Amino acid sequence: MAEFTLDLNDDQKQVRDWLHGFAADVIRPAASEWDEREETPWPVIQEAAKVGIYSLDFYAQQFFDPTGLGIPMAMEELFWGDAGIALSIVGTGLAAVGVLANGTEEQIGTWIPQMYGDANDVKVAAFCSSEPDAGSDVASMRTRAVYDEAKDEWVLNGTKTWATNGGIANVHVVVAVVDPGLGSKGHASFIVPPATPGLSQGQKFKKHGIRASHTAEVVLEDVRVPGHCLLGGKEKLDERLARARERAKAGGERVKNAAMATFEASRPAVGAMAVGTARAAYEVALDYAKTRSQFGRPIIDNQGIAFQLADMRTRIDAARLLVWRASWMATTGKPFTSAEGSMSKLYASETAKSVTAQAIQILGGNGFTREYPVERMHRDAAIYTIFEGTSEIQRLVIARTLSGMPIR
């Protein structure tokens, strides 16, 4: 019988320490500046590309780690450095996952390298799913893709919102409606190649947190893409739509749509990001509590502070274990029979919000200023309970999975 262990192996420890060093030496010193500038930190991304962190090879190695812990370990360390900059470094990965989840081998080999570029010419990619009237409610999506059979082209029209790297990306992956009668089952994903006419950046959002990450609308006006840019190919799409129509007539089982396939694959990774931010805030609070004296003694000597720190660390470790379990299950092909992926994202994201808020409280007035990083960490942590499925949606997924009922 194989020995059970939660210890990282030597290779994983080496990668973890390497990433931690990059986060400490490169990301953290730049965090405050790029948060204030609210701009994409291209110099930091380029540094990540030079050392091999921002590259297809690196993420492929972590993705194919047989334990499943490569990606969550990497996310935790980078986001420990700073959430905004880290999201600029890893944001391309969501688009890459969209291609991996839905594309053919040829599409994967053709488009994912173009998403990253190289150390001398760094590129980014964007995954475009959410819309002004269709966030969690993906069935309300309005962006349409119509097939022009004479030219073997798809014509895309609509507006996407909340797109990381939207408008500045070299490659956009766009989810669109191909059969409105099927609701969320009538969606498909498309590659929009570089410099395609009709795609433009709309509003760039000024955000509460993760301000070093570019978030914007993407406007699609008669955007024509070749037939081979439909992820998975038309034959596979036609077969899937035909099955969906038959099941709809029979009132049968649900069919996963293109956007949800991407989100399901990435939710534990988002949980790991939240763990990294929570851990960073906890460490700042712990160090502060040891060195800050009031009434002649360090404030950690007070149970009111010490117990908070004990609870913070307990929640962080519990969140990490949920993330690791979900990541291991996904890698080993074990089904999420209890919505373990959503559990990990829900608990870790709520932990990040709670821990960063407690860190501010422990630092008192200093925690409320930008002289200390916990203020920024608390602003950043708010996004984890929102993007890639709000906490409310995670609870809905979990409740539906556990009960088997169509809870609304």
Catalytic residues: 388
Residues 73, 63: Cα–Cα separation, whole Å = 11
How many CB atoms sit inside 10 A of residue 380's CB?
Answer: 32
Could you tell me whether strands 117-118 and 121-122 are parallel, antiparallel, or unpaired per DSSP bridges?
Answer: antiparallel
Compute and round to an integer the Cα radius of gyration of the chain: 22
Residues 33, 60: Cα–Cα separation, whole Å = 31
Burial class (CB in 10 A: 0-12, 13-18, 19+), 370: exposed
The CA-atom distances, in angstroms, between 127 and each of 107, 140, 167 are 15, 18, 11
The CA-atom distances, in angstroms, between 119 and each of 42, 50, 51, 71 are 11, 5, 9, 21
Neighbouring-strand partners of residue 128:
174
Residue 280 near residue 85 (C-beta atoms within 8 A)? no
Residue 151 near residue 197 (C-beta atoms within 8 A)? no
The CA-atom distances, in angstroms, between 331 and each of 65, 96, 261, 334, 349 are 8, 17, 15, 8, 22
Rounded to 5°, the CA angle 309-277-365 comes to 60
- Direct distance between the N- and C-terminal alpha carbons of the chain, in angstroms, rounded to an integer: 44
**Count of all residues that appear for the chain in the document:** 408
Strand positions, DSSP E, 180-234: 187-192, 199-204, 215-226
